[in-house]
Structure 1
Amino acid sequence: MAKLNFNPIKKHVIEFARRFSEDEVTSLSAQLSYFFLLSLFPLLIFIVALASYLPIDYLRLLEMMSAYIPVEAMQLIENFLFETMDSSGGGLLSIAIIGTIWSASNGINAIMRALNKAYDVEENRSFILGRLIAISLLLSVLLLIVVALLLPVFGRMIGVYIFSFFGASEQFISVWNGLRWVISSSIFFVVFLYLYKMAPNAKVYFKDAIWGALFATVGWQVSSYGFSLYVNTMGNYAATYGSLGGVIILMLWFYISGIIIILGGEINAMVADHRGRLKT
């Protein structure tokens, strides 16, 4: 019986560990968590303010977010939104748009710098071009959030409406009820793919970016769910940090998310390097 050759796997693991250390993944993830926190609340204001103009109950959107975000962090977010909506005036949406674009694009810029490090390239794009790329990526992320949240909440309603024209059976509607979760994950994958394609200041091929996008899609959902489960069942941050417990949990969640995003970029850079297609 032929023996399995684990040398190639070992080689890739060693290279991955070297990149993890040399590219300071944990330090960059800490920076990303800071920008993510600054971007979160203007983004939430924008989404809730926009939902007020649409036939959407934002409370149900918050309910869907709770599947990924720990309870204490969700309480912080909900309290912030309730206070904001109670004290807001008619100009909330316009203010939220400005705040979201500026704050969240800074977070995207941080991701761009982190991915440039993964590809060992310098950022030489102009400020205007870099900001335009960041805004376009931001709009993609907003689309991801809206659609990924709308499908689980309104998926059945949409399915019944669409397939009513074709006389679909109740059994087929049940299948659609499960497929909408797959569609949500597919949207995550597409946005991550676009992020890894456009963010680095390097020529990135879709064939190389697929692997990092797949890792980020699965890794982010699994890690978010796992972290939420851990905090809700075993981690008592409120007892340790008091009223700051929700902020600490948010920062830890953003930190884990940053690691997943950067590792996806590292995987793409490794694939491109091994295929000899890494061009700056």
Structure 2
Amino acid sequence: MRASGAVLRAVVAIVHEKRLVLMAASLAYFAFVSLVPLLLLVVIGLSAFRDGQVALDVATYAASVISPRSGGVLIEVVTGAADRGSATILGIVVLLWGTLLLFRALDDAFGQVYGEQQDSLLLGDLADALLVFFVVVGAIIAMLGLGVAFSVVLQERVWGLLGPVVLLIVLSGVFLPMFYLFPDADVSLAQALPGTVFTAAGWTILQVIYGFYARTTGAGELYGAAGAFLLLLAWLYIGGLVLLIGAVVNAVLADHVAVEGDLPSLEYL
């Protein structure tokens, strides 16, 4: 087990060496492309099995999470489609395209971190991507459902305290299969846990800060939908970078990666 200072320096060196800051930008873009069709399909699916008010509640809650002040624009996008059949087909196509690119980018990023790149997407990699995709989608649907249910049953102050805890638990369940399956190296569940906890905690803190900033600064009101979407892109970018750093943490702690050259000093950090 490395000392904490050595781990920190190794993580910083690998993030710089592998140019993960740039990779996080591609993850943010592909995630952004997948968000609207995913929410659209959730709303259409709920509308088919439940009354329209449930679907609207989910859309409203999701929009408030994504953009507390300008979420109405997103609600109009996902609920204002005149032809739900065409919207469903288009949403599926865009979602599959964006998701495939997202998980391909994730696979490439993990390959960079662990030093085991593949030139093509193999059948096993596709199965792993599909498995993680269904885990992520299921967790998002569950998180939105819990959010709607708890926000109705509990007071806003109580949910404000319990929400981050619930989000931390849900995100840990989302990220664990990803950190366990995506590396081409042999990784145990125990070795996947540090990066999982780091990423889940980072995303939880990021969501709390993002929600507070969006509610208090009025960025959405000042700049409209453009400001809200830019804020969302920034959130996705930082979240993608945190996820990649989590992968680096796992690789460093499990000695799956070696730093080329000298480690940066703590004064450099």
TM > 0.5 fold call: yes
Q: Which of the residues 59, 69, 79 maps onto 1:82?
A: 79
Q: Which of the residues 258, 264, 280 maps onto 2:240?
A: 258
Question: One-letter code of the match for 2:191?
Answer: D
Aligned-pair CA distance for 1:265: 0.8
How does 1:139-218 map onto structure 2 within 5 Å? 139-154=134-149, 182=165, 185-218=168-201
Question: One-letter code of the match for 2:78?
Answer: L
Matched residue count: 249
SS in 2 for 1:273: coil
Q: Which of the residues 36, 46, 61 maps onto 1:41?
A: 36
CA separation of 1:15 and 1:263: change in aligned 2, threshold 3 A: same
1:171 paired residue number? none
CA separation of 1:119 and 1:238: change in aligned 2, threshold 3 A: farther
Assess if the C-alpha contact under 8 Å between 1:116 and 1:201 holds in 2: yes
Assess if the C-alpha contact under 8 Å between 2:20 and 2:241 holds in 1: yes
Assess if the C-alpha contact under 8 Å between 2:60 and 2:71 holds in 1: no
2:212 paired residue number? 229
Aligned-pair CA distance for 1:30: 0.6
How does 1:64-79 map onto structure 2 within 5 Å? 64-66=61-63, 68-72=65-69, 74-79=71-76
Q: TM-score, normalised by structure 1?
A: 0.77
Question: One-letter code of the match for 1:217?
Answer: A
Question: One-letter code of the match for 2:185?
Answer: A
Question: One-letter code of the match for 1:11?
Answer: A
Does 1:55 pair with 2:38? Answer: no
> Identity, % of aligned pairs?
23
Tell me how far apart the structure 1 counterparts of residues 256 and 98 of structure 2 sit (CA, whole Å). 36
SS in 1 for 2:80: helix
Aligned-pair CA distance for 1:8: 2.5
Aligned-pair CA distance for 1:156: 9.5
User: How big is each residue's C-alpha offset from its partner over 1:207-261, in whole Å with a ceiling of 9 and x where there is no partner?
Assistant: 011111111111101112202312332363664x565222212211111111121
Assess if the C-alpha contact under 8 Å between 1:38 and 1:103 holds in 2: yes
Q: TM-score, normalised by structure 2?
A: 0.79
Assess if the C-alpha contact under 8 Å between 2:164 and 2:208 holds in 1: no
Assess if the C-alpha contact under 8 Å between 1:50 and 1:93 holds in 2: no
2:250 paired residue number? 268
Higher mean alpha-carbon deviation, 90-99 vs 44-53, is at 90-99
Aligned-pair CA distance for 1:88: 2.2
Tell me how far apart the structure 1 counterparts of residues 195 and 176 of structure 2 sit (CA, whole Å). 8
SS in 1 for 2:232: helix
SS in 2 for 1:123: coil
SS in 1 for 2:66: coil
Structure 1: stretches of 5+ with no match in the other structure: 1-6, 159-174
- Greater than 6 Å deviation, 4+ residue runs: 178-181
CA separation of 1:44 and 1:194: change in aligned 2, threshold 3 A: same
1:249 paired residue number? 231
How does 1:4-153 map onto structure 2 within 5 Å? 8-55=3-50, 57-66=54-63, 68-72=65-69, 74-84=71-81, 87-123=82-118, 126-153=121-148
Assess if the C-alpha contact under 8 Å between 2:44 and 2:84 holds in 1: no
CA separation of 1:155 and 1:75: change in aligned 2, threshold 3 A: closer
Aligned-pair CA distance for 1:183: 5.3
Assess if the C-alpha contact under 8 Å between 2:63 and 2:75 holds in 1: no
Structure 2: stretches of 5+ with no match in the other structure: 259-269
Aligned-pair CA distance for 1:61: 1.9
Question: One-letter code of the match for 1:271?
Answer: L
Query: Larger Cα Rg: Structure 1 or Structure 2?
Result: 1
2:261 paired residue number? none
Aligned-pair CA distance for 1:196: 0.7
Question: One-letter code of the match for 1:33?
Answer: A
RMSD: 3.1
Assess if the C-alpha contact under 8 Å between 2:21 and 2:241 holds in 1: yes
